[in-house]
Structure 1
Amino acid sequence: MDYITLGKNVRKYRLIFGFSQEELAGKCDCSNSHIGQIENARGIPSLDMVVRIANSLSVTVDQLLKESYSNPEVVYLRELAERIEKYPVARRIQACEALMAYLDSLEKFSQ
């Protein structure tokens, strides 16, 4: 497991949700210094702690570890699908069309 990436992702999601280290530590029932050690890859969290952090941040363990996977794109694709599925049908179609147009431009300019 890449503990540097895990720590960066914990910090990223913590900041996205507006939590201080102390607030996240309170939600995870640990010390804020432990959260700091995890974020700075100076401490190795237990699997239980990784799950508690993910639950406290309303993310999946996959989201915290995706860069460590040999196929991280699977996590990204799942995240995209989950987000798109929340939209009404008309907005889903718009999102898919926008993504297709973006992919077309990537393919056009990568040749």
Structure 2
Amino acid sequence: MVYKHLGQRIREERTKYRLTQEQLAEAAQVNESYVGQVERGEKNPSLETVVNIASSLGVTVDYLLQEEVNVEPNSLINELVSIAKNKEPEELRLMLNIWRMISEYSSKLKKK
């Protein structure tokens, strides 16, 4: 396991959701400077910390730990489910509508 990849993935997810290191640290119950060290690959977090960080980011542990860009379809589906968990019905409807529009657009592109 290359911890630098884990740190990069954590940073990507954190910035994607516009969270500061301080906000992530608070949610994951770790020190803010520790989050920075993990993101830079300087510290190797415990499994418990990885679970807390993944939960705080709304992603799965396997998503954070994977090193390859090529992802299995089931892993992507699991990621979508993970993102959708604990959302209000209105948010879920919006997500579903967006996914449908993307799917329809993608199908049209394939037919060309």
Q: What TM-score do the two structures reach when normalised by structure 1?
A: 0.69
CA deviation vs aligned residue, 1:43-95 (integer Å, no higher than 9, x gap): 000110000001111111122123359x6334235446887x9525xx63x43
Moved over 6 A (4+): none
Identity of aligned residues (%): 36
Partner secondary structure for residue 30 of structure 1: coil
Match in the other structure for 2:2: 2
Q: 1:60 to 1:102 in 2, by over 3 A?
A: farther
Gaps of 5+ in 2: 85-92
Query: Quick one: which amino acid aligns to residue 48 of structure 2?
Result: D
Aligned match of 1:37: 37
CA distance in 1, matches of 2:33, 2:61: 21
Between 1:48-57 and 1:9-18, the stretch displaced more is 9-18
- SS of structure 1 residue aligned to 2:45: coil
- Residue in 2 that maps onto 1:98: 105
Contact 2:59 2:79 in 1 (8 A): no
Name the aligned partner's letter for residue 12 of structure 1.
Answer: E
CA contact (8 A) 1:2 1:68 kept: no
Kindly indicate whether the alpha-carbon contact (under 8 Å) linking 1:3 and 1:44 is maintained by their aligned counterparts in 2. yes
Q: Is the 8 A contact 2:14 2:57 kept in 1?
A: yes
Structure-1 separation of matches of 2:44 and 2:71: 21
CA contact 1:5–1:68 (8 Å) conserved in 2: no
RMSD: 3.1
Q: Residue 15 of structure 1 aligns with which residue?
A: 15
Q: 1:53 to 1:73 in 2, by over 3 A?
A: same
AA aligned opposite 1:60: T
For 1:87, give the aligned amino acid.
L
